[in-house]
């Protein structure tokens, strides 16, 4: 028996955030944020300081709970409630260093 790849089949994101919101008191850190990461791809989340990158990653990894929105893992709704969640919903992260060397 051989496995075949259906090239016409839709590709489901490995991880997806849809319409995520997160507030800290009166500060709205995420407003309807959406994100998709596909299997077999390297995905970088970049943006200006204060844009909500770290907050989104913390929501997707279970450090923070979202105020609203949906997280999907391989197309299935996921309730990630802690960074120690199940292996199926773990989110490997590579954080930027706190200090950057000066440009050369």
15-81: which CATH topology? Rossmann fold (3.40.50)
Q: What is the pLDDT of residue 81?
A: 80
Secondary structure of 24-85 in HEC code, one letter for each residue: ECCEEEEEEEEEEECCCCCCCCCCCCCCCHHHHHHHHCCCCCCCEEEEEECCEECCCCCCCC
Question: pLDDT tens, 65-91?
Answer: 999 999 999 999 988 887 776 555 556
Question: pLDDT tens, 19-63?
Answer: 999 999 999 999 999 999 998 888 888 889 899 999 999 899 888
Q: What is the pTM of this model?
A: 0.76
């Amino acid at each position: 028996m051989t496995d075949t790849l259906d090239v016409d089949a839709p590709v489901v994101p490995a991880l997806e955030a849809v319409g995520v919101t997160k507030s800290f008191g009166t500060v709205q850190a995420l407003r309807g944020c959406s994100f998709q990461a596909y299997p077999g791809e390297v995905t970088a989340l970049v943006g200006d300081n204060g844009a909500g990158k770290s907050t989104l990653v913390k929501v997707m990894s279970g450090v923070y709970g979202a105020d609203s929105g949906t997280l999907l893992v391989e197309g299935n709704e996921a309730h990630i409630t802690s960074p120690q969640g199940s292996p199926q919903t773990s989110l490997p992260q590579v954080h930027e260093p706190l200090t950057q060397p000066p440009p050369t």
